Amino acid sequence: MTTTFDEARVIAPAGSEWSPVIGETTISLGQYLERIGKLKTPEAVTRVRDDALAIVRNCRPFTSATDDTRTGLAIGYVQSGKTMSMTTVSALARDNGCRIIILLAGVTTNLLQQNADRFQKDLREASGRPSAWRILNSAKGFGEHAVRDLQRAAEDWRDGSFREDDKKTLLYLVLKNHAHLDGLASLLSKVDLRGIPALILDDEADQAGLNTKPNAAEASTTYKRIARVRAALPNHTYLQYTATPQAPLLIALDDMLSPAFAELVRPGDGYTGGQTFFGVDANPALVHAIPAHDLDVSATEEPPETLLSAMRVFFVGAAVGGLRNQPRPISMLIHPSQRQDDHKRYLAWVQAIIGRWTTGLRSQDSDERTDTLAEFRPAYDELRAMDSTLPTFDELVVQLRRCVSDVHLSEVNSSNGNDQVDWDNAETHILVGGEKLNRGFTVEGLTVTYMPRSAGDWNADTIQQRARFFGYKQAYLSLCRLYLHPDVIHAYRSYVRHEEDVRTQLAQHRGRPLREWRRAFFLDSQLKPTRKNVLADPYYRISADHEWFLQEQPHLDPEASARNGVMLREFEAGLAFEADEAFFKHRVATALLVPLFRDVLLAYQVRGGDVADWYGQLVTLRDILDDNPEAQVLVMQMDAGHPRVRSVDPRAGAIKLHQGRSSATGEGKYPGDAKMHDTTFVTLQIHWLQISKVPDLKSPVPAIAVHIHTRLRKDDVIAQGH
């Protein structure tokens, strides 16, 4: 039942009003990326280009001078190459007549510079005509020269005598900060840009730009500045890029940043992400739980033993990489917490440890040198257990000594202003820090991560964005290790299932408006999808031990009720109902779940307070079918199909669907509707009702109840009804 992304491309082609072309800029970019080794094969070039085409096809046509706006969402994996996708989308946009491209490049100066360097180098080097791009960085400000550049460019764009190739594309690289956005909005508003096609790329779109005051009279500051930028561009697409789409998918549908479409960015060969480290088939040797006594270091002056173990594994792995001539640098990340005092404590420990090991490995005293080498032997044995082709320990000694003594230490946080790491300064690096090593920050050649930080607020998107250890590491995966807080390991293992569920659903929905997608997906009971301060509409958590869905507002929409009735009558007509003493006066039949799910339940309409719970049931039923396409369902005609009288509670606005247990005594006492279900299959109860005092309803009114046993439920479901 699971539809992969590739399959979805075939069965659900994107509805589009235009077909973008692959022009010289895009072709040259692909050739350049393959030539410098960022893309290894022609197939990789094709994959990146096809994904970009799918995204651009959903944008506003860059060939159109008609003013309108659109918002979309591009979803990748953490550290999977979203920047390359954005670069390729930008090249395609230029090839198809887009005049202005804006990259909102994160919330820190290091991320802005990191993205600016990549964009400028790749687009200018690839084009062969550097003059085709006019690139401006908000860090340098937008002065009068920027206004003149934009005014002249706008005149050229409208001049029909200008060759298309001679028309510049303006690329603005902008920090997602209210002052920088204000500067950009002021610049754009000084020139008439009506009819000028533009593209805004919001990198890490779920961060900073969303409205954190959705229910207040006035929106949050950065959100207002983004709105001002958008207002200055009458003809544009706002494209959100993220690996954690929970917030953009759950914000109100009428929010200007709620996406109209979503496309998936596929990872390339060799990507090692959540499935590699935390999936059901992951090698358990890759991940170590930091024991409780090593998590709280506030009362100790000695470094945790697991930190020592992690550093030994890192240095042995670095020595192996050196002998194998693997690409440099090789690095280790230490992320203790967001507190800078902890950063300094760990940095001091690391410096002391390296000093001791350097002295021991370089000692003229053979006993001291032998004792120091012996400390690294268990780390070597651990790595060799996963890779039997490792050089011998004796062959590593010289390289190990060099790696330890030459390592470069960096404290990356806001206190010292150190946003940049000079990766060319050394072949081995150890980085210590907190928040600045989270979202968007690329740690070059990362092999070992030591992160005793807890799961905190258990926000799924925040925890996932700390996974700097994902990336293209298949070639040296045997040298990679994660040392994590046990709660964080649990969170990542749970997130893998959640992430694939969301991607699968979006792949299946591809080609249809995203506002029609049912917001419901699996999420572990401890995790929250995102921070609540960006959500105007609440989400509901359907617990894995919540066995019943009861439709309690079937009266709200007479037209939907009538359509539901026709579907259920047709479904009932194809079944052979029989009496069964175990189910008292109700009649039962068995059926395959597949046609019921496909032909009836997916189309069944509920309203009001039933919506979120119903969406949750559909997600669970789909999951059951993924595991067992031959699953059956027990269908029960309550009271043998005779109408049951119900009334609407005026305070709750709902009916009480289930009849309670009988007050009679004796062997034949009715235990109540809630006991009427199968213990093995899914159970569907069909109720035909006569609802009193609702004159617009045509009786009998259909209502359903669905029972799913807890053993068939794997996780909670997060759902939102619109």
Please measure the distance between the N-terminal and C-terminal CA atoms of the chain and give it in whole angstroms: 26
Instruction: Decide: 344 and 355 in contact? Cβ < 8 Å.
Output: no
Q: Which of 245, 268, 291 is the last residue of a domain?
A: 268
C-alpha distances out from residue 103 to 44, 85, 443, 666, Å = 24, 13, 22, 74
Q: Are residues 407 and 389 in the same domain?
A: yes
14 part of a folded domain: no
C-alpha distances out from residue 294 to 332, 517, 570, 571, Å = 18, 45, 63, 60
Phi, psi of 265 (to 5 degrees): -100, 115
Looking at mean pLDDT, say which of 222-231, 296-305, 336-345, 463-472 comes out highest.
Answer: 222-231
341 part of a folded domain: yes
Instruction: Decide: 156 and 168 in contact? Cβ < 8 Å.
Output: yes
Q: Are residues 92 and 231 in the same domain?
A: yes
Structure tokens that stand for 4 in this block: 């992969």
CA pair distance 244, 500, nearest whole angstrom: 12
State the pLDDT confidence band at 456, using cuts at 50, 70 and 90: confident
Phi, psi of 193 (to 5 degrees): -115, 20
509 part of a folded domain: no
Give the tens place of pLDDT for each residue, 42-60.
999 999 999 999 999 999 9
CATH of the domain at 113: 3.40.50.300
518 part of a folded domain: no
pTM (two decimals): 0.87
Q: Are residues 445 and 411 in the same domain?
A: yes
Looking at mean pLDDT, say which of 260-269, 297-306, 525-534 comes out highest.
Answer: 260-269
Q: Are residues 99 and 205 in the same domain?
A: yes
Print the domain residue range for 78.
Answer: 23-268
State the pLDDT confidence band at 7, using cuts at 50, 70 and 90: very low
Q: What is the average pLDDT value for the chain, to the nearest integer?
A: 91
Average pLDDT of the segment spanning 613-617: 92
Which residues lie below 8 Å from residue 399, measured CB to CB, with a gap of 6+? 319, 322, 323
144 part of a folded domain: yes
Q: Are residues 247 and 276 in the same domain?
A: no
Q: Are residues 121 and 225 in the same domain?
A: yes
Write down the pLDDT at residue 10: 31
Average pLDDT of the segment spanning 30-40: 94
Kindly report the number of other CB atoms within 10 A of residue 600's CB atom.
Answer: 17
Beta bridge partners of residue 23, listed in sequence order: none
Q: Are residues 194 and 321 in the same domain?
A: no
206 part of a folded domain: yes
Least confident segment among 285-289, 330-334, 572-576, 651-655: 651-655
Q: Are residues 391 and 405 in the same domain?
A: yes
Q: Are residues 113 and 140 in the same domain?
A: yes
Structure tokens that stand for 537 in this block: 């509409």
Please tell me the total count of domains within the chain. Answer: 3
414 part of a folded domain: yes
> Over the Cα atoms of the chain, what is R_g?
30
pLDDT over 80 at 186, yes or no: yes
Q: Are residues 259 and 296 in the same domain?
A: no
Q: Are residues 228 and 279 in the same domain?
A: no
pLDDT over 70 at 239, yes or no: yes
100 part of a folded domain: yes
Write down the pLDDT at residue 14: 43
Q: Are residues 458 and 571 in the same domain?
A: no
Which residues lie below 8 Å from residue 495, measured CB to CB, with a gap of 6+? 274, 278, 460, 463, 464, 524, 527
